[in-house]
Amino acid sequence: MAIRVLRIINRFVISGSTFNVSYLTKYLPSEFETVLISGHKDDGEENSDYLAASFGLNPVYVNSMRKSLTQPWNDRNAFKEIKKIIETFKPHIVHTHAAKAGFVGRLAAISCNVPIVLHTFEGHYFHSYFHPIKTNVLLRIERYLAAKTDGIIAISPEQYDDLANIYKVASPEKVFTLPIGLDIDKFTLNTDRLRADFRNEFKISDDTICIGIIGRLVPIKNLNMFVRVVKEVLQRTNKKVKFFIVGDGESREDTERQLEQLNLAYTSVHEKDYSKPVIFTSWRKDIDCIMAGIDIVALTSLNEGTPVALMEAQAAKKAIVSTNVGGIGYVVEDGKSALLAESNNVKDFSDKLLTLIENESLRNEMGQFGYENAQAKFSLNRFINDTKNLYHKLLQEKGVKI
C-alpha cells in the first residue's frame, strides 16, 4: 500500500516554492502517492500552469486560498475545501509549504487527525515584512500551529536558528534542516547557444556586461536599493553595462517612478528599445537562457530564505552580489561564489558590484566555485532522499501503519 501524501502550496506561481513542491511531487519514489493542492495566484503574478504541465502534474486548485491576510472568509472557505479533500484522500502525511498554506492546511489536517503534519518554511516573515504588531500576532499563530505539528522544516541552518532559537517558533528537536534541491544540469546544457540567443534578442554586444536581478517585484526584494545601485554604478564605470529586471509584481510601478526620478532610462520588452541601460523583461519561462546571457546576478532583498535565483546562478556559473540577509550566507560562499554586502547599504553593494564588473577573471573564478557549491549542497537526488527519509522517520516514530 502506498504512503499517501497531501502536499499544499500557497500559489502555483513562478517561485522557489513552486519548484520545490513540483520536484517532490514528481520525483518521490513510487511508494508515495501524492495529491498536490494549490491556492489562487494574485494579480501581477505569472501563472505557472505550464510548469505543472512540464512535470506532468495536475494540481487541485482551491481558489479561496489567497495570499491576503485580511480576508478571513476566504481562509474559512479554503479550510472547508481542504478538509473535504483530506476526508476523501485520507493522507498519512499532510505537508504544507509557505505561510498561508501552512496556516489553512495545517488547521484542516489537525482537525482531521492526520497522522503526520509537516510544514516547510520557504522563508519567514518575522522581520522586514510587516508592522511589528502584525508580526507579533503572526508569530503567536505560528507557535500555536507548530505545537500541533509533527515537524517543522527549515531550508537552511540560518533559518533553523531563527525558528528554533531566535524566534522560538518550535522546540529545537522538532525543527529539521532540509535544504532544497535543484535541477543543476538544466543550467549546464547548450550554454553557448543560449547566451547567443539572449544577446541577439536584446541586441547586446559581446563586450557588454549584463547584470540581472530575478524574481517577484515586491517590497521585500528592495528594488529601490537596486535602482540606486544602478545609478551609482553607471556613474563610476567606463565599461559597457546593462541591467535586467527579470520578473514582475506590485513594485513595478514604484521602481519605474524611481528610475525616472534619478533620470535613468528604462524600457520593457514590449517597447523593444534596448539601447537604454535598464530593461524590464517581465516574467520569463526560459530562465536557463537568462542565466546563460547575463554575467552577474544581483539580489538586494531585505530578507530571504534560500533564494532559488542564487542557487540557479551558481548552477549556471555566474558570479553574485547580494545583501547578506536570511539564509543567503548558506546558499553562497562569501568571497568565493558571491560578494555579500550589508543590507540597504548602496555604497557597499555598488563597490562590490563594480569589483566584479571590472574583473572578468574574478567573475569566472567565482562562477566555477559557485557551480561546485551548488553541486555539493543542492543536488536534486539529495533533496528527494532527505525528504523520503524524514517521512519514514516520522511515520515510524508515531507508529503509523501503512
pLDDT digits (tens, 9 = 90+) for 135-168: 788 889 999 999 999 999 998 898 899 899 988 9
Q: Which three cell numbers stand for residue 255?
A: 521602481
Does a structural domain hold residue 346? yes
Check whether residue 165 and residue 65 sit in a common domain: yes
Handedness of CA 319, 321, 324, 328 (dihedral sign): negative
Kindly tell me the burial class for residue 345, based on how many C-beta atoms sit within 10 Å of its own C-beta (0-12, 13-18, 19 or more). middle
Residue 285 domain-assigned?
yes
Whether 320 and 339 share a structural domain: yes
What's the total number of domains in the chain?
2
Convert 258-291 to b/e letters by CB count within 10 Å (16 or more is b): bbeeeebebbbeeeeeeeebbbbbebbeebbbbb
- Predicted confidence (pLDDT) at residue 118 exceeds the cutoff of 90: yes
Give Cα 368 to chain centroid, integer Å: 22
Segment 49-77 mean pLDDT: 82
pLDDT, tens digit, 9 for 90 and up, residues 322-339: 999 988 999 999 999 999
Please give the model's pTM, rounded to 2 decimal places: 0.82
Q: Are residues 38 and 140 in the same domain?
A: yes
99 or 295, higher pLDDT: 295
Give the integer Cα–Cα distance in Å for 316 and 275. Answer: 26
d(CA 50, CA 52): 5
Confidence of residue 122 (pLDDT cuts 50, 70, 90): confident
Residue 402: C-alpha distances to residues 29, 115, 391 (Å): 15, 11, 12
Residue 8, helix vs strand vs coil: strand
How far, in Å, CA of 360 to CA of 35, rounded? Answer: 47
Do 308 and 329 lie in one domain? The reply is yes
Q: What DSSP element (H or E) covers 137?
A: helix 132-147
Q: What is the mean pLDDT of residues 67-74?
A: 70
Same-domain pairing of 217 and 359: yes
On whether the CB atoms of residues 379 and 341 are closer than 8 A, the answer is no
Q: Are residues 221 and 157 in the same domain?
A: no
Answer yes or no: is 14 within a domain.
yes
Neighbours of 354 (CB within 10 A): 18
- In this structure, the answer to whether residues 361 and 387 fall within a common structural domain is no
State the sign of the Cα–Cα–Cα–Cα dihedral 135, 140, 145, 151.
positive
Burial (CB count <10 Å: 0-12, 13-18, 19+), residue 173: exposed
Task: Yes or no: say if 75 and 105 are a contact pair by the CB < 8 Å rule.
Answer: no
Provide the residue range defining the domain that includes 139: 3-181+379-397
- Quick count: other Cβ atoms within 10 Å of Cβ 257? 11
Q: What are the two backbone dihedrals, phi and then psi, of residue 208, each rounded to the nearest 5 degrees?
A: -85, 130
Judge if 387 and 370 occupy the same domain.
Answer: no
Helix axis angle for 72-89 and 99-111, nearest 10°, is 50
User: What average pLDDT does this structure show over 214-242?
Assistant: 96
CATH number at residue 163: 3.40.50.2000
pLDDT band of 219, cuts 50, 70, 90: very high
In a domain, 291, yes or no: yes
* Secondary structure element (H or E) that encloses residue 348, with its range: helix 346-357
Which pLDDT value is given to residue 126?
Answer: 58
Same domain for 102 and 125? yes
Does some domain include residue 402? no
Residue 131's pLDDT is 59
Judgement on whether residues 163 and 235 belong to the same structural domain of the protein? no
Residue 47 pairs with which residues in a beta bridge? 13
Residue 130 pLDDT > 60: no
Same domain, 154 and 290: no
Residues 6 or more apart in contact with residue 13 via CB below 8 angstroms: 41, 45, 46, 47, 48
Burial 14-25, CB ≥16 within 10 A → b, else e: bbbbbbbbbbbb
Residue 314 to residue 336: CA distance in whole angstroms = 11
